[in-house]
Amino acid sequence: MKNKVTVVGSGNWGSVAAKLIASNTVRLSSFDDEVRMWVFEEKLPSGEKLTDVINRTNENVKYLPGIKLGKNVVADPDVESAVKGANMLVFVSPHQFMEGICKKLVGKIGKDTEGISLVKGMEVKKEGPCMISTLISKTLGINCSVLMGANIANEIALEKFSEATVGYSKNKEAAEKWVQLFGTPYFIVSAVQDVEGVEMCGTLKNIVAIAAGFVDGMEMGNNTKAAIMRIGLKEMIKFSKMLFPSVKDSTFFESCGVADLITTCLGGRNRKVADAYAKNQGKRSFDQLEAELLNGQKLQGVLTAKEVYEVLSDRGWVEQFPLFSTVHAISIGRLPPSAIVELGDSRSANKQVGNSTL
């Protein structure tokens, strides 16, 4: 039996993931050529449905214009029919939609299905934080690995060299299959046995990228940005280990760690929108700027800062994470963007954030 792959999601990275995978399924005999891609249906200004246009032109004209996905990519607006018959599911949606997507798939997935999450983000529930790979495996009853890395989608779409990290917990064989499915000469994938570490890196770097954007928007220069990235990395490591003591130091040196932090702080969407927020001195909200600047693409950093802040305040950890806390306070308008460099004065930064009712 050949492996059959469905990509659940079709935004900027989802479309590039489908392209990467489709280039391999036609090449590797153990995979069925066809790659299904679930599309959250929408009407384009022309009046046509996005799915119809993708299937007619082989291009996601909204989220990845100008790039052919491969003739073996078939877009499907019905998530249940998209996953039918697939034994390998690639989840790649903005994290805030993942719970709804998973609920729709309960009871529709074969028992030997393997999942992989490319989603950078987390959910915070009453019981505590829940990583997206855990949400997938608990809701659908399947094993779920993760793939994260320094992967700005538009660059990979142009086949520029980059690396990525697969994180797995127990099933090494499944991880090797994912490495085979994603890897190309320009996209080098390696696997590490640290699913939590890899996923925490991908999730938390988006908060640091928001901080880097504030620094850019205020034209504070490279030294300040490097300082923010260093402090951010320390908070990423500390928070990951406090939540999951099994997280390995070495994971932070993989593509998913320091490399993703660097690329996102230099060229990502979180950085871009936070830059605009600081330039506007907080007079336009993140939601407004996201809509104006990203044409339907979604930011993860602001929501992640809020979710992480909930964990920090719930556990009494706020004072230990001045950068994460300050990013949240700035992004909801409680502090001005300039507060991002008051972290050194831990008394003022921590006090303002720690004493507020955020």
Ligand X SMILES: O=C(CO)COP(=O)(O)O
Ligand Y SMILES: NC(=O)C1=CN([C@@H]2O[C@H](COP(=O)(O)OP(=O)(O)OC[C@H]3O[C@@H](n4cnc5c(N)ncnc54)[C@H](O)[C@@H]3O)[C@@H](O)[C@H]2O)C=CC1
Q: Which is nearer to ligand X, 34 or 275 (CB)?
A: 275
Instruction: Determine if 209 is a binding residue for ligand X (CB under 6 A).
Output: yes
Decide: 20 and 101 in contact? Cβ < 8 Å: no
- Write down the least CB distance from residue 263 to ligand X, Å: 6
HSE of 31 in the Cβ direction (CA atoms, 13 Å)?
22
HSE of 344 in the Cβ direction (CA atoms, 13 Å)?
6
Q: Which is nearer to ligand Y, 240 or 300 (CB)?
A: 300
Find the catalytic residue in 62, 177, 205, 279.
Answer: 205
Q: How many CB atoms lie within 10 A of CB 27?
A: 10
Task: Summarize as ranges the residues that interact with ligand Y (CB under 6 A).
Answer: 9-14, 40, 63, 92-95, 97, 118-121, 151-153, 296-298, 300
Q: Rounded CA gap, 188 and 63, in Å? A: 24
Report phi then psi at 33, rounded to 5: -60, -45
225 is in an annotated binding site: no
169 is in an annotated binding site: no
How would you class 186 by CB atoms within 10 Å of its CB: exposed for 0-12, middle for 13-18, buried for 19 or more?
middle
Partner whose binding site includes residue 69, from ligand Y, ligand X, none (CB under 5 to 8 Å by kind): none
Q: Which is nearer to ligand Y, 254 or 350 (CB)?
A: 254
Partner whose binding site includes residue 279, from ligand Y, ligand X, none (CB under 5 to 8 Å by kind): none
Report phi then psi at 125, rounded to 5: -110, 175
Instruction: Determine if 150 is a binding residue for ligand X (CB under 6 A).
Output: yes
Partner whose binding site includes residue 209, from ligand X, ligand Y, none (CB under 5 to 8 Å by kind): ligand X
Q: In the numeric block, which tokens belong to residue 231?
A: 């402090």
Query: Is 138 part of the annotated catalytic residue set?
Result: no
Decide: 198 and 240 in contact? Cβ < 8 Å: no
- Write down the least CB distance from residue 149 to ligand Y, Å: 8
Q: In the numeric block, which tokens belong to residue 249?
A: 């130091």
Q: Which is nearer to ligand Y, 182 or 317 (CB)?
A: 182
298 is in an annotated binding site: yes
Q: Which stretch binds ligand X (CB under 6 A): 135-143, 237-245, 260-268, 334-342?
A: 260-268
Partner whose binding site includes residue 95, from ligand Y, ligand X, none (CB under 5 to 8 Å by kind): ligand Y
Place of tokens 């989840």: 91
Biggest CA–CA distance in the chain, Å, is 62
Partner whose binding site includes residue 10, from ligand Y, ligand X, none (CB under 5 to 8 Å by kind): ligand Y
103 is in an annotated binding site: no
Closest of 149, 146, 143, 151 to residue 132, by C-alpha: 146
- Write down the least CB distance from residue 45 to ligand X, Å: 24
Partner whose binding site includes residue 326, from ligand X, ligand Y, none (CB under 5 to 8 Å by kind): none
Q: Which is nearer to ligand Y, 62 or 218 (CB)?
A: 62
Tell me whether strands 122-125 and 128-131 are parallel, antiparallel or unpaired: antiparallel
Degrees, nearest 5: CA angle 250-179-259:
40
Q: State which of residues 23, 143, 264, 325 lies at the interface with ligand X (CB under 6 A).
A: 264
Strands (E), the chain: 3-8, 31-38, 73-76, 88-91, 114-117, 122-125, 128-131, 143-148, 162-167, 187-192
Q: Which is nearer to ligand Y, 119 or 278 (CB)?
A: 119
Sequence ranges of the binding site for substrate: 120, 269-270
Contact footprint for ligand X (CB under 6 A): 120, 150-152, 209, 260, 263-264, 268-270, 300
Catalytic positions are 205
Sequence ranges of the binding site for NAD(+): 9-14, 40, 97, 153, 269, 298, 300
